[in-house]
Structure 1
Amino acid sequence: MRVIGTLDDGAAYDVEVSGRTDRPVTGSRRVRALVEQHTGRPVLLGPHGPQRVLEATDTAAVLALLREHTTVVEAMA
């Protein structure tokens, strides 16, 4: 899944969320670090739930994390 967006400071990112265990996110070190920092913590999959523990291989949870902490402009499967 390709995700394009901006971080809180306005920096743009374009990443591939692969769901692979060896490289779950490619294209931005900052986004990869964000995912690594939140792995193992709960994330809401939608505005009101359900809640799931973030695993870097879970593409839906990674996208939910990006929507929560960044401005997602486009997400393409």
Structure 2
Amino acid sequence: MEIIGTLDDGAAYDVEITGRQPRPVTGSRRVQALVEQYTGKPVMLGPLGPRRDLDPADAAAVLALLRQHTTVIEVRP
């Protein structure tokens, strides 16, 4: 899954969520660092839940994290 978006400071990013170890997210190093920072912490998969601990191999959880902490512009399967 490919995600295009912007970070809080307006910097654009383009990442691929691979769901595979050792690099579950490829592309922007800043987004990779964000995913590493929140690994194991709860994220909301939707506005009302469910809540799930972030596993970098879980594409839905990584996308939810990006939607919470960045502006997601486009999602490509």
TM-score range, shorter chain: over 0.9
Scaled by the length of structure 1, what TM-score is found?
A: 0.99
Aligned alpha-carbon RMSD (Å): 0.4
Could you list the per-position Cα deviations for residues 32-54 of structure 1 after superposition, in whole angstroms to 9, with x for gaps in the alignment? 00000000000000011000000
Structure 2: unaligned runs, 5 residues or longer: none
- 1:56 Cα deviation (Å)? 0.4
* CA distance, structure 2, for counterparts of residue 50 and residue 76 of structure 1: 23
Name the aligned partner's letter for residue 62 of structure 1.
V
TM-score, scaled to structure 2? 0.99
Specify the alignment match of 1:68 in structure 2: 68
User: Which ranges of 4 or more aligned residues in structure 1 deviate by more than 3 Å?
Assistant: none
How many angstroms does 1:21 deviate by?
A: 1.3
Q: Percent identity?
A: 71
Match of 1:59 in 2: 59
